[in-house]
Structure 1
Amino acid sequence: MALKEIEKRLALSYGNKLQIECVAKCGFAVDEIDMYATNAKADLIVMGMKGAGYLTEKLIGSVTTSLIQKSKCPVLAIDEHVRYKLVKKIALACDYNETENEKVLYPLIEIARIFKAHIYVLNVENELEPVATTAGHVVSGFIKLQNSLAHADHSFHFITTQNIVEGINEFIEMSNVDMVVMIPRKHSLLRDIFNEPKTKQMAFHSKVPLLTLH
């Protein structure tokens, strides 16, 4: 059984330092994983993504993408070609109003603390479809986010682009980012990416894990 093989490999690598429990469920994958994570009070769901670097119709309908949209638990999506390395640079791609509830950022702040990582707060605006937001609302969101990250090493970055996915890609390459973090809420940056037909064939970034917070 595949799960048992994974358990054996992990046990050989980490011994008693890692507690492992194998569970097999019958049902719809998204529902069963989400329910199990809820009942187990899981802190994180980790999902592999075959071909996760591409926002295609297959990805949009995948189990991982559905979990990202549905689960209340943070989801870490990792492409099959990703190899582990220390996380030193994290890009939080968001609109400032997505982070008004500072609790949503706790997992990110904890990860940054553990790895002593720098957080790049990346605000991306589509210059072809500017968001109608008042200056006061933007400033308020910025101040709240800055306060939430007060004890984390961070910096703010703003870019305008004709394609949000391409803009994030370019920033990842330019800054050598190790992980991207997004907050998939209604009307948020991540939902725009998943719902925008033009991005379905765009490469996101196959070598960078994607952490979604809820």
Structure 2
Amino acid sequence: MKKILVPTDFSTNAEKAMQFAIRMVQGNKEAHLTFFHVNSDLIPTGISKKELEDTIATQLEADLTRLKQRVIEIYHKMIVGEGEVNNDVLVKYGSFNEEIVSTVKELGIDLIVMGTLGASGLKKIFVGSNTADVMEKAPCPVLAIPAEYSNAPVTRVAYATDFQNVEQSLGVVVNFAKFFNASIELFNVYFAGARGQTDPSTFDRNSFLEEIKKQFDYEHFTLAFVRLKEAGDDLIDGIEAYVAQKKPSVMAMATNERMWYEHIFRPSKTKQMIFQTTCPLLVVKQ
């Protein structure tokens, strides 16, 4: 996890994502940030190809100047010294989501760090936002920084898992946690008495943790189980309960299709949304 793309629309939310990414790699000589802006302004119709190209070129030149200045301002605000962060800046014209995906492939990006563009809570992150579209289409992990995030130190990453193919995505979580030397708590949400689920009473926690520690050469693992008690509770209820109690620095989840998390996080018409998390969310594709 060395090449990190940080999209920005110059909003306050995007600046929080930029600050998180800077803190994440500060002092790490192997990591590299690319601050990225996509200009999607509409161009008047009825103009010649030359006029179109000149208009886009002028806009991108202005965007590049603005982006460079914004990066300098954030470095000064964060008191980041010269050489502490490896970075470059890049601007393109086109569709926001399409340009991000193409840039990830073009540059071999390992991680995208972006603001949630006004979304609040996990349920809203996944409903009708640019963040959701990027999570669906990008071929790399995406770290979403909520608008309410307060730049707290990252000390513990919580990873929600059903223990199916956990090794495929856990490696990404470990690489992320190593930036902060943070602990990783794997937690499983289960329904009491349901078939096909892990039974905490018979699960060999010690053997599982020792195997994981050895496999990933990382010692900072713990394991927790969250039981759903009331009829009608679902996975999001268990995650809400866990986050409310444990307050992790970052939440991590793995998914292989958008329908899965759209189903989980679709707001209920009869249930008030109580998940107003202020911690970042790392989504890893299996």
- TM class by shorter-chain length? 0.7 to 0.9
Which SS does the other structure have where 1:173 is aligned?
Answer: helix
Instruction: Report the CA distance between 1:199 and its aligned residue.
Output: 3.7
Q: Distance in 2 between matches of 1:107 and 1:23?
A: 25
Matches within 5 A, 1:1-214: 1=63, 2-12=66-76, 13-14=79-80, 15-49=82-116, 50-53=118-121, 55-56=123-124, 59-101=126-168, 104-125=169-190, 130=194, 132=196, 147-150=211-214, 151-161=218-228, 162-186=233-257, 192-196=260-264, 199=267, 202-214=273-285
Question: For residues 111-162 of structure 1, what are the alpha-carbon distances to aligned partners after superposition, in whole Å with 9 as ceiling and x for unaligned?
Answer: 333423221111113569x564698xxx7xx977863343331122122321
Q: Could you tell me the TM-score, scaled by structure 1's length? A: 0.78
Q: Distance in 2 between matches of 1:29 and 1:203?
A: 30
Which SS does the other structure have where 2:245 is aligned?
Answer: helix
Q: Distance in 1 between matches of 2:130 and 2:195?
A: 30
Answer whether contact 2:109 2:140 (CA < 8 A) is retained: yes
Identity of aligned residues (%): 23
Q: Distance in 1 between matches of 2:265 and 2:159?
A: 23
Question: For residues 136-189 of structure 1, what are the alpha-carbon distances to aligned partners after superposition, in whole Å with 9 as ceiling and x for unaligned?
Answer: xxx7xx977863343331122122321322221221121121110011214xxx
Question: 1:99/1:163 Cα in 2 relative to 1: closer, same or farther (>3 Å)?
Answer: same
Answer whether contact 2:155 2:181 (CA < 8 A) is retained: yes
Quote the residue 2:20 is aligned against.
none
Question: 1:29/1:71 Cα in 2 relative to 1: closer, same or farther (>3 Å)?
Answer: same
Which SS does the other structure have where 1:160 is aligned?
Answer: strand
Answer whether contact 1:68 1:75 (CA < 8 A) is retained: yes
- Structure scoring higher RCO (CA < 8 A, sep ≥ 6) equals 1
Question: For residues 173-214 of structure 1, what are the alpha-carbon distances to aligned partners after superposition, in whole Å with 9 as ceiling and x for unaligned?
Answer: 21121110011214xxx8533224754663444311001123
Answer whether contact 1:95 1:124 (CA < 8 A) is retained: yes
Q: Could you tell me the TM-score, scaled by structure 2's length? A: 0.61
Q: Which runs of 5+ in 2 are unaligned?
A: 1-62
Q: Distance in 2 between matches of 1:191 and 1:180?
A: 19
Q: Which amino acid aligns with 1:168?
A: I
Question: For residues 86-133 of structure 1, what are the alpha-carbon distances to aligned partners after superposition, in whole Å with 9 as ceiling and x for unaligned?
Answer: 2111110121114142xx3223213333423221111113569x5646
Instruction: Report the CA distance between 1:63 and its aligned residue.
Output: 1.1
Answer whether contact 1:52 1:59 (CA < 8 A) is retained: no
Answer whether contact 1:184 1:212 (CA < 8 A) is retained: yes
Q: Which amino acid aligns with 1:33?
A: I
Question: 1:24/1:93 Cα in 2 relative to 1: closer, same or farther (>3 Å)?
Answer: same
Q: Distance in 1 between matches of 2:94 and 2:208?
A: 41
The total of aligned residue pairs comes to: 204
Answer whether contact 2:126 2:265 (CA < 8 A) is retained: no
Q: Distance in 1 between matches of 2:83 and 2:143?
A: 24
Larger radius of gyration: 2
